[in-house]
Amino acid sequence: MPLPREETLTGLQDELARFEELLRSLDDAAWRSTSRCDGWTAGDVAAHVVGSMADVVAGRFDGLGTPEVTEREVHERRDRSPAEIADELRQVTKLLSDLAGAFDDAAWDAPAPGGLAMTTGEGVEALWYDAYLHNLDIRAAAGMPEVRGPGLRASVSHVASTLDRQGWGAATIALDGVQEFAVAGGGRRITGDPLRFVLAATGRADPRPLGLDETVNIYR
């Protein structure tokens, strides 16, 4: 189950505002720096995030999140400046805010559009997670410090839901300062720092310090 509807909708909008602020702070060197997303610069990462949000508000759900679609999102924006990408994000965030007003509990719990194997609520939480995680990717590329905040809890929730759908195994994710999330009904307790867990579960950090192995990587 995703986090509560109002929390998730507000959290996504706030995360996108932080993402816009980050983009406007980047100089040319940071924009062109190599990211930990294979083959992408920090600017490419930004283009993917904004492109994904633009696809959602335009109703382009087919293949969302696949390599082909993410590459198209990046390619369409590759010649744009940080300010131009940030301006597009501001427009898209306003459209997302307008769409959010149409969500009631029934719509939130209904299957996500585009044949995605999740509810609409889980899909919105996935957008929040994606913006938060890629904020970290850009910061890492630009040599900026990591950030935590509400997006970290949303990311743990998304990872837990994804592991559950993937049949990873029974576990209780009980990380520092974050509510517990049950995978496959709960089981062995996974403890430790939530940021390190999210990075390990997305192939960005070594899972062994958390007592885990590479199977925790949701992108494996």
Q: The domain that contains 34 carries what CATH number?
A: 1.20.120.450
Q: What is the pLDDT along the chain (220 residues), one digit of tens a residue?
A: 789 999 999 999 999 999 999 999 999 999 999 999 999 999 999 999 999 999 999 999 888 889 999 999 999 999 999 999 999 999 999 999 888 778 888 989 999 887 778 899 999 999 999 999 999 999 999 999 999 999 999 999 999 999 999 999 999 999 999 999 999 999 999 999 999 999 999 999 999 999 999 999 999 8
Which of 147, 141, 146 is CA-nearest to residue 29? 141
Contact criterion met (CB below 8 Å) for 167 and 151: no
Last residue of a domain, one of 94, 121, 147: 147
Number of domains in the chain: 2
Range of the domain at 196: 149-220
Verify that 46 and 101 share a domain, yes or no: yes
- pLDDT, position 97: 87
Last residue of a domain, one of 147, 177, 208: 147
Verify that 132 and 209 share a domain, yes or no: no
Verify that 57 and 123 share a domain, yes or no: yes
pLDDT in tens, 1-11: 789 999 999 99
- pLDDT, position 167: 96
Rounded alpha-carbon distances, angstroms, from residue 50 to 54, 55, 140, 166: 6, 9, 19, 27
Verify that 90 and 153 share a domain, yes or no: no
Gap between the Cα atoms of 17 and 74, Å rounded: 20
Contact criterion met (CB below 8 Å) for 96 and 53: yes
pLDDT in tens, 163-200: 999 999 999 999 999 999 999 999 999 999 999 999 99
The burial class, CB within 10 Å (0-12 / 13-18 / 19+), for 197 is buried
* pTM of this structure: 0.96
Specify whether the backbone of 2 is left (phi greater than 0), alpha (psi in -120 to 50) or beta: beta
- pLDDT, position 115: 76
CA atoms within 13 Å, Cβ hemisphere of 143: 5
Verify that 156 and 211 share a domain, yes or no: yes
- pLDDT, position 102: 81
Verify that 153 and 170 share a domain, yes or no: yes
* Residues near 34 by beta carbon (within 8 Å), at least 6 away in sequence: 41, 42, 141
Gap between the Cα atoms of 168 and 212, Å rounded: 12
Instruction: Please give the helix or strand (H or E) that residue 172 lies within, else none.
Output: strand 171-173
- pLDDT, position 126: 95
Verify that 159 and 67 share a domain, yes or no: no
Verify that 97 and 202 share a domain, yes or no: no
Verify that 11 and 120 share a domain, yes or no: yes
What percent of the chain shows pLDDT beyond 90? 87
- pLDDT, position 2: 82
Verify that 15 and 115 share a domain, yes or no: yes
Last residue of a domain, one of 126, 147, 168: 147
